[in-house]
């Protein structure tokens, strides 16, 4: 589990994990985050390694990357997923001429 990815070209760095971000992450990061989200509780490095049947030495650098990306937080030697807020895209929509014609006929 030594995959790494630099997402610094995106604007999501440090604001938490958006579920869509999972699709762009390397397998190691995605596997850890998915497991942690399912558990919904803070986990130690050892607990994460045990859940994934992977040595702690392989998990530590991946967790450091996730911490740097802002996808996890750490407190008292435990890690927890930091979910970001999803910002809706609001665009004004023009009414289709066909829809306007239907409404005109309905009166």
pLDDT in tens, 16-67: 888 788 888 999 999 999 999 998 889 999 999 999 999 999 999 999 999 9
pTM equals: 0.65
106 vs 64, more confident: 64
Q: Is residue 72 exposed (0-12), middle (13-18) or buried (19+ Cβ within 10 Å)?
A: buried
57-95, pLDDT tens digit by residue?
999 999 999 999 999 999 999 999 988 765 545 555 666
Task: Check residue 21 and give its pLDDT.
Answer: 81
Task: Among 1.10.10.10, 1.10.275.10, 3.40.50.970, 3.50.50.60, name the CATH number for the domain at 19-81.
Answer: 1.10.10.10
**Rounded CA gap, 71 and 39, in Å?**
15
């Amino acid at each position: 589990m030594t995959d790494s990815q630099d997402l610094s070209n995106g604007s999501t760095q440090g604001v938490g994990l958006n579920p869509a971000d999972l699709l762009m992450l390397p397998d190691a990061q995605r596997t850890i985050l998915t497991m942690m989200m399912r558990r919904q509780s803070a986990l130690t490095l050892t607990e994460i390694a045990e859940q994934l049947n992977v040595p702690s030495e392989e998990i530590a650098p991946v967790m450091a990357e996730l911490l740097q990306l802002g996808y996890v937080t750490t407190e008292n030697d435990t890690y927890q997923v930091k979910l970001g807020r999803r910002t809706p895209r609001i665009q004004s929509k023009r009414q289709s001429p066909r829809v306007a014609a239907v409404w005109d006929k309905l009166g």
